[in-house]
Amino acid sequence: MPFTANRSYKANPRQLVSASGMHYQSGDGRTILDGTSGLWCSNAGHCRPEITEAIAKAAGTLDFAPTFQLGHPLPFELAQRLAALMPEGLDRIFFTNSGSESVDTALKIAIAVQRSKGQGTRTRLIGRERGYHGTGFGGISVGGIVTNRRTFGGGLPGADHMRHTHDIARNAFSRGFPQCGVELADDLQRLVDLHGADTIAAVIVEPMAGSTGVLVPPTGYLQRLRVICDRHGIILIFDEVITAFGRVGGATAAGQWGVTPDIITMAKGLTNAAVPMGAVAVKRELHDAMIESVPGGIELFHGYTYSGHPLASAAGLATLDLYARDGLFERANELSAYWEDAAHSLKGRRHVIDIRTIGLVAGIELKPRSGAPTARAMELFHACFDNGLLVRATGDIIALSPPLIVAKAEIDEMFGKLGNLLDTIA
C-alpha cells in the first residue's frame, strides 16, 4: 500500500467504501467528514453526478485512443480550457496521469528548452528542502523529503536544494504569508554562485509546500525567486499539484499571488480525482523554442500511453464546468477568513506549537513526543478517523484542506473535534 505502515494497517484496517459530497462512509458503517478533500484532490466534493455522467458517456463513446501520432478531440478541448485559466502566456499544455509524472515532464521540458537555446550545459535541477514533487526519480531528485531520497539513493546526480522556509521561531501562528524569511530566496543566488548559472536548467518549488506540512512562503519570497531566475536565465517551475484549482482561492497560486513562472505542474483537482490525470502548462515561447529547434520528426521524446485519455479528459472538462458554474474558487476566497479564524482558535490547545493558514488550507503543528517523533500526529489522525473526521498527518503536523463546498457548520465541526481530541492525546 502506498506510503502506508502496511503491518499496522493490516492489524487494524480502516476502510472507506463510499462517498458523497463532504462525507465518506467507512467499512464499519460510520459517516466520516472529509477534512482533506480525499488527498488534497476532491475539491468539488465527492461523486458529483455531473462528473460521473461525463465519464460514463466518454467510456461508451471512445474508451481509449492512442495519442502517439494521432489525436482525439477531448484533450484539445481541455487544453484550451486549461490555458484560459493559466497566467498569461502559459498556454501550451502537456497531459500526464499524476503529479509525479507532471513533475518529471516539466523537468525534462526545461532541460530540452535550454538545449534548444544552445544551453546544453544547463542540466542541473534545483529544488528545496522539505519540498515534495512526487515519487519519480526526477521528483525525488528535486524533492527534499529525507526518507524519500535516502531510501532510493537521492535520485539524479547534480541536483541541489535551497533551504526550506519553515521558521517557527519568527513566524509562529501566521495568518497568510509570514512576514519573515524573504531572504531565504537568496539561497538560489548562492547556488548560482556555487555551481555557475550555465549549469542550472531550472528551479522547482511548490508555491505552498503542502505535503510537508503547509509551509506558506514568506512575503516577497516567490517574487524574489522570479527576479533571480530572470537574471540568470533559469526556468522557474511552480509545482501546483496541490495549490491549483481553488485551494488558495484562484485557478492557480501563481495567478492568485501575482507571480508568473515559466512552467506549472498540475494534477489532483484537475479531474476532482475522479480519474487520474495531470497536466503541465508551459509558456508559449519556451514551447516554440523547443519545437522549432528540431528540423523534423518528433520534437519531444517523452509521453505516456494514457496522456490525454478520453475518460480523464471528459472528467476534466466536467470538473472545470462545475468549478465555474458553482463559483467554487470564489467560494474558497469568501470562506478563507472564517476558516482562518476557526483554525487559529486551536492556539493554546494542548500540544499545539504552531498554526499556519492560507486559502482553505491549515497546518496544525504539534510538539513532537519525546523519543517518538511523528507518533503524536499519527495517533491524532487515527483518533480523528475513529471519531468521524478525516485529516492528514505528515510528520508532527495535522493538515486540513476540505472540499471547496464545505459549509461553516462543517468547519466548526472539524476544528471542534480536533480541539476535543487533542485533550485525549498523550
Q: What is the pLDDT of residues 33-42, one digit of tens each?
A: 999 999 999 9
Render 311-361 in DSSP notation, one character per residue.
Answer: HHHHHHHHHHHHHHHHTHHHHHHHHHHHHHHHHHTTTTSTTEEEEEEETTE
User: Could you tell me the pLDDT band of residue 154, with boundaries at 50, 70 and 90?
Assistant: confident
pLDDT surpasses 90 at 102: yes
User: Could you tell me the pLDDT band of residue 155, with boundaries at 50, 70 and 90?
Assistant: confident
* pLDDT on residue 413: 98
Q: Which residues pair with 399 in a beta bridge?
A: 363, 392
User: Could you tell me the pLDDT band of residue 230, with boundaries at 50, 70 and 90?
Assistant: very high
The single residue listed with the C-alpha cell 500526464 is: 96
HSE-CB for 269 with a 13 A CA cutoff = 31
Q: What is the pLDDT of residues 375-397, one digit of tens each?
A: 999 999 999 999 999 999 999 99
* pLDDT on residue 69: 97
* pLDDT on residue 334: 97
Domains of the chain: 6-48+327-422 (3.90.1150.10), 53-326 (3.40.640.10)
Lowest mean pLDDT among 20-29, 147-156, 290-299: 147-156
Q: 10 Å Cβ neighbour count for 108?
A: 17
The single residue listed with the C-alpha cell 541541489 is: 160
Phi, psi of 246 (to 5 degrees): 95, -10
The C-alpha atoms of residue 252 and residue 290 are separated, in whole angstroms, by: 25
User: Which of these, 119, 100, 99, 98, lies nearest to 110 by C-alpha position?
Assistant: 119
The C-alpha atoms of residue 322 and residue 141 are separated, in whole angstroms, by: 36
The C-alpha atoms of residue 311 and residue 58 are separated, in whole angstroms, by: 6
* pLDDT on residue 18: 98
The C-alpha atoms of residue 80 and residue 83 are separated, in whole angstroms, by: 5
End-to-end CA distance of the chain: 28
Q: What is the pLDDT of residues 279-338, one digit of tens each?
A: 999 999 999 999 999 999 999 999 999 999 999 999 999 999 999 999 999 999 999 999
Q: Average of pLDDT values for 330-358?
A: 98
Assigned C-alpha cell, 194? 556555487
Question: Do residues 130 and 166 make contact, with C-beta atoms less than 8 angstroms apart?
Answer: yes
pLDDT surpasses 90 at 198: yes
* Polymer length in residues for the chain: 426
* pLDDT on residue 153: 84
Percent of the chain with pLDDT over 70: 100
Summary mean pLDDT of the chain: 97
